[in-house]
Amino acid sequence: MGNKFDDLAATIDDAARKGDAIAQLSEASAFTLPQAYDIQEKSIGLRLARGEFRVGMKMGFTSRAKIIQMGVDDMIWGRLTDGMLVEDGGEISFADYVHPRVEPEVAYLLKEPLEGPVTTIQAMSAVEAMAPALEIIDSRYKDFKFTVEDVVADNASSSGFVVGPWCHAEFDHSNLGMIMEFDGRPVQIGSTAAILGNPARSLAAASRMVAEFGERLEAGWIIMAGGATAAEALRPGVSVRNSVEHLGSVGFKVSA
């Protein structure tokens, strides 16, 4: 069976590298959620083998509405590498992606590792700083359609992330207004409260969830807490900015 998962991981990695859409992996043969995380690990392993290194993880399905919509009972997570990092104020090329979308988020930077189930307070005491962030999600599947197993195998759709200025996180950030703008016009409006009622809960959940697969959150890692609004489709030439109350803003451009 190991070979089959290696093949699926290679298929996903290939699609991500070339920016090509593929059929859902689960269409050929079904696999379980734990197996989906195995495929994810193997496919990210191919990136690491090419010299990329792990810089953190991302949380997905962090709103009740999304969990219900997908018919699952927990969040999902994916792995972040330095190769996915887009510089604040940087530019991406539309052609490198399949059908990219963007979500406004906040990110945490850890100063200490977090292992296993932790309380929100324990999670926050490991935080060095937080920042406004944007995640570029890009399902490698045709028409952005997938089962939960498919999306987990596909690294929870993660393909890029942009992190703004790091700020101290020692204040109540459970309800910070968020505005995502395209070319200076608001396209999504929300609040950090949309992330599980408080994004710190997402950080605690991240520690619990990776432990199920023998991992821990490492000092120096960046944790993307999850989308605060619906995702917006990117288009060539667009300039994207996410402003978060009290945290400042972060942005990037898509080349024309």
Partner 1 sequence: MSDQTKISEAADMLQTAYDSSNPCLPVRTMLDEGDIDAAYAVQEINSIRRLEGGARLVGRKIGLTSKQVQKQLGVDRPDFGLLFDDMAVPDGEEVPASAVLQPRVEGEITYILEKDLTMERPTTTDVVSAIAYASASIEIVGSRIKDWDINIQDTIADNASAALMVIGNDKVFLDEFDGRMCGMVMENRGEPVSVGAGVACLGHPINAVRWLAEEMVRRGRPLSAGDMVMSGALGPMVKVEPGEVYEVRISGLGSARAAFAPE
List the one residue from 33, 197, 218, 253 that touches partner 1 (CB under 8 A).
Answer: 197
Q: Cβ(56)–Cβ(135) under 8 Å? A: no
At 254, is the secondary structure helix, strand, or coil? strand
Q: Is 55 in the site for partner 1 (CB under 8 A)?
A: no
- Beta strands (DSSP E) in the chain are 54-60, 76-81, 85-86, 91-92, 101-110, 127-137, 158-163, 177-182, 185-191, 222-224, 232-233, 239-244, 248-254
Using the contact rule CB under 8 A, the part of the chain among 15-23, 33-41, 89-97, 178-186 near partner 1 is 178-186
178 binds partner 1 (CB under 8 A): yes
Q: Based on the shown chain and the rule CB under 8 A, indicate whether residue 240 belongs to the binding site for partner 1.
A: no
- What DSSP character marks residue 252? E
> Measured from the CB of residue 178, what is the shortest distance to partner 1 in angstroms?
6
Pick 36 or 244: Cβ nearer partner 1: 244
245 is a site residue for partner 1 (CB under 8 A): yes
Among 69, 119, 175, 255, binds partner 1 (CB under 8 A): 175
> How is residue 221 written in tokens?
């890692």
Only one of the segments 148-156, 174-182, 203-211, 230-238 lies at the binding site for partner 1 (rule: CB under 8 A); that segment is 174-182
Give ∠ CA 120-218-64 in degrees, rounded to 5.
Answer: 40
Q: Find the binder of partner 1 among 167, 191, 208, 232 (CB under 8 A).
A: 191
Judged by CB under 8 A, the stretch of 3-11, 85-93, 107-115, 243-251 that binds partner 1 is 243-251
Q: What are phi and psi of 112, to 5 degrees?
A: -135, 155
Binds partner 1 (CB under 8 A): choice among 39, 76, 136, 176: 176
User: What residues numbered 209-238 form the site for partner 1, per CB under 8 A?
Assistant: 228
Question: How many Cβ atoms are within 10 Å of 246's Cβ, its own excluded?
Answer: 11
Residue 59 within binding range of partner 1, rule CB under 8 A: no
Residue 204 binds partner 1 (CB under 8 A): no
* Cα–Cα distance for residue pair 78/40, rounded to 1 Å: 8
- Contact by Cβ (8 Å): 92, 253: yes
> What residue ranges bind partner 1 (CB under 8 A)?
63-64, 174-179, 186, 189-194, 197, 228, 243-246
